[in-house]
């Protein structure tokens, strides 16, 4: 099908950009980007994700360090580890794998990360900058949605975009990114009435609710673009929020799960670290008065 947006293909192009960035740094005797990822406990999903981060980072020439901590770690100890990483000039990106054990104060811990190294865009400072239209670090999943659309030559200006889902991780920031590109945005959620009427008017539908095959063709007008951010397990298979077999027959463009949004997220996390390194180097150069 020629209407499928291939996330893996787009990710491969971004990976080449990162490899070239790292190659030029080495050529100019500059250090490689360094990412540190912290995992508390033994959540299987988080273990899979941190291993994927490491594999991709190393394959692109970046440095990667895993910090594996026991689930009973004291909150103060964890905060001290993060503060040490904040002060380490060799570390460009810090990731704390979520969710954390319930007894830990997730908001306090996440906001201990230096905003300059918060490559997941989880701190209040970076989220505030994003919603003020001044974001330097863009959260990876929303950034993946935007990248898929832009790399597919979709002009967002003036388009009617409906976002289904209002989470702080995907729904709200992806809506903000669409606004930044001059789209007209509607956010829908579990309390929205006449959902089908709203989505059927949309030029672009972005769905991120974690309900497998929720979005059927009845929700989508013919010729719309559909971006599926959902990831669920259904009958032992990874499945998105969109009934792909149905909707792909009427959509102008559509993403698959897997192979769509998720194929880019980790790559964009690494790219965020590269951009953070370069931005912080430039800031330090300007502060020292050296060109």
3-state secondary structure of 140: helix
Radius of gyration, alpha carbons of the chain = 20
For 207, counting Cβ atoms within 10 Å of its Cβ (0-12 exposed, 13-18 middle, 19+ buried), the class is buried
Please give the helix or strand (H or E) that residue 206 lies within, else none: strand 204-207
Is residue 52 a known part of a binding site? no
**165 annotated ligand-binding residue:** yes
Rounded CA gap, 24 and 76, in Å?
40
On whether 19 is known to bind a ligand per the annotation, the reply is: no
Q: CA-CA distance, 128 to 112, in Å (whole number)?
A: 15
Could you check whether the bond before residue 129 is cis, i.e. omega within 30 degrees of 0? no
Q: Which residues pair with 152 in a beta bridge?
A: none
Residue 51 CA: distances (Å) to CA of 68, 230, 243? 11, 21, 30
Residue 166, annotated as binding a ligand: yes
Alpha-carbon dihedral 283, 284, 290, 291, rounded to 10 degrees: -40
C-alpha–C-alpha distance, residues 21 and 1, integer Å: 33
Alpha helices in the chain, H assignment, sequence order: 7-27, 44-59, 75-87, 106-110, 124-131, 140-151, 171-180, 195-199, 244-247, 262-288
Beta bridge partners of 184: 160
Could you list the residues known to form a binding site, using ranges.
165-167, 231
List residues forming the annotated binding site for NADP(+).
165-167, 231
């Amino acid at each position: 099908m020629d209407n499928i947006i291939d996330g893996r293909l787009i990710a491969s192009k971004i990976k080449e950009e990162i490899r070239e960035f790292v190659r030029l740094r080495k050529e100019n005797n500059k250090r490689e980007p360094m990412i540190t990822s912290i995992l508390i406990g033994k959540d299987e999903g988080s273990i899979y994700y941190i291993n994927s981060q490491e594999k991709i980072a190393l394959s692109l020439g970046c440095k990667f360090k895993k910090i594996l901590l026991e689930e009973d770690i004291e909150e103060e100890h964890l905060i001290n580890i993060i503060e040490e990483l904040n002060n380490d000039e060799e570390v460009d990106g810090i990731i704390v794998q979520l969710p954390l054990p319930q007894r830990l104060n997730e908001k306090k811990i996440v906001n201990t990360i230096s905003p300059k190294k918060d490559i997941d865009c989880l701190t209040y400072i970076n989220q505030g900058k994003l919603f003020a239209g001044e974001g330097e670090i863009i959260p990876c999943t929303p950034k993946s949605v935007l990248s898929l659309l832009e790399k597919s030559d979709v002009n967002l200006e003036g388009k009617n975009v409906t976002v289904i889902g209002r989470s702080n991780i995907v729904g709200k920031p992806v809506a903000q990114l669409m606004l930044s590109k001059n789209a007209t945005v509607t956010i829908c959620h579990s309390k929205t009435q006449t959902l089908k009427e709203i989505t059927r008017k949309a030029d672009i539908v972005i769905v991120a609710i974690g309900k497998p095959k929720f979005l059927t063709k009845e929700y989508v007008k013919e010729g719309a673009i559909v971006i599926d951010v959902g990831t669920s397990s259904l009958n032992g298979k990874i499945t998105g929020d969109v009934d792909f077999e149905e909707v792909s027959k009427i959509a102008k463009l559509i993403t698959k799960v897997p192979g769509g949004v998720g194929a880019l997220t980790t790559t964009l996390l690494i790219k965020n670290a590269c951009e953070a390194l370069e931005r912080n180097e430039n800031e330090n150069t300007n502060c020292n008065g050296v060109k």
